[in-house]
Amino acid sequence: MDNLKKLKFVGFESNYPESEIVFIGIPFDGTSSYRAGSRFGPIFLREASDSIETYSIVQKKDLLDKRICDAGDMILPVGNTERALQEIETRISSILRDRKKVFSFGGEHLITLPVLKAFLDSYDDLFLIYIDAHADLRDEYLGERLSHATVLRRVCEILSGENIFHIGTRSGEKSEIEFGEENINFYPSFVLEKLKEVNERIPASVPVYLSVDLDVLDPSVAPGVGNPEPGGISFNSLLNCICMFGEKNIVGMDIVELSPHYDPSGVSAIVAAKLVREMILLFK
């Protein structure tokens, strides 16, 4: 029976009880307003992970040296956003109670809200690094307060703006950009000096949550996302940025918005898989 292959992310070979890190797919795209389909992100990600190595040449670390469990994908209600978010929070809370680090893979960016709620129950003085082409700071979008376009605004209601660092915005309406400038640490560019400033302002001792929206990358790098935004960064720029945060005490991470059907080449899923590897290797 050992030669049977199950669809898991490459190198995530531990079972749940022995694992130190839990990878979980959260295939929710219930508020996607433009191009829905990120619910298919996790399954395409795992398939794409077959094409990458478990070893990172950049970090000189191997996934096989960590105890990582691929917990599978949540089965979520369709058409009931609040209940879906509650179920996500409950599930992440139970993993955190088992004293494991969590890597969530979306799904749309709204999943970060219930995941963070669970983290805030477990960690005092949590800091958030939020890397995204969009501000995600609208108070409501299409009449809804719970949306991929409002997620960071809702986070501001449960986490002090002083603890929130938003990096990479290149799109937003005037009011949300102004809200960002006034209420959180807002770094709309990828200038290296500015990133170093972010790194210096986050203490080494505090727990840090890192959320990456794939659309921060240029659409030529990752076209398979819900809301492609021209003028983005290269893969290596993003990699250098997240590796810089590797010195921090990262306790949780996510990648969101892979919407694989919009990229017939399949490259976006491979980009996401490589990013998962590099990010998960940052866990100490």
Minimum distance of Mn ion from residue 152's CB (angstroms): 8
Query: Residues 70, 136, 218, 263: which binds Mn ion (CB under 5 A)?
Result: 136
Residue nearer to Mn ion on the CB measure, 19 or 112: 112
Candidates 114-122, 186-194, 208-216, 264-272: pick the segment binding Mn ion (CB under 5 A).
208-216
User: Is 254 an interacting residue with respect to Mn ion (CB under 5 A)?
Assistant: no
Number of chain residues interacting with Mn ion (CB under 5 A): 4
Give the Å distances, CA to CA, from 93 to 3, 39, 40, 89.
Answer: 34, 21, 24, 6
Minimum distance of Mn ion from residue 136's CB (angstroms): 5
Give how far the C-alpha of residue 87 lies from the chain's centroid of Cα atoms, to the nearest Å.
Answer: 18
Minimum distance of Mn ion from residue 149's CB (angstroms): 8
| One-character DSSP codes across 168-212 | ---B--HHHHHHHHHHSEEE-S--HHHHHHHHHHS-SSSEEEEEE
Residue owning tokens 């840090």: 208
Candidates 5-13, 20-28, 88-96, 125-133: pick the segment binding Mn ion (CB under 5 A).
125-133
Minimum distance of Mn ion from residue 8's CB (angstroms): 26
Query: Residues 70, 87, 89, 132: which binds Mn ion (CB under 5 A)?
Result: 132
Candidates 4-12, 81-89, 102-110, 117-125: pick the segment binding Mn ion (CB under 5 A).
102-110
Comparing CA positions, the residue from 256, 243, 180 lying closest to residue 217 is 256
Comparing CA positions, the residue from 72, 121, 76, 67 lying closest to residue 94 is 121
Minimum distance of Mn ion from residue 56's CB (angstroms): 25
Residue nearer to Mn ion on the CB measure, 12 or 209: 209
Candidates 12-20, 106-114, 181-189, 264-272: pick the segment binding Mn ion (CB under 5 A).
106-114
Does an H or E element contain 121, and which? helix 112-122
Distance, in Å, from the CA atom of 226 to the CA atom of 137, rounded to the nearest integer, reads 17
Query: Residues 213, 229, 263, 278: which binds Mn ion (CB under 5 A)?
Result: 213
User: Is 109 an interacting residue with respect to Mn ion (CB under 5 A)?
Assistant: yes
Residue nearer to Mn ion on the CB measure, 29 or 136: 136
Comparing CA positions, the residue from 215, 208, 128, 126 lying closest to residue 169 is 215
In the DSSP assignment, the letter for residue 108 is S
Which residues have C-beta within 8 Å of that of residue 144, sequence separation ≥ 6? 31, 81, 150
Which residues contact Mn ion (rule: CB under 5 A)?
Answer: 109, 132, 136, 213
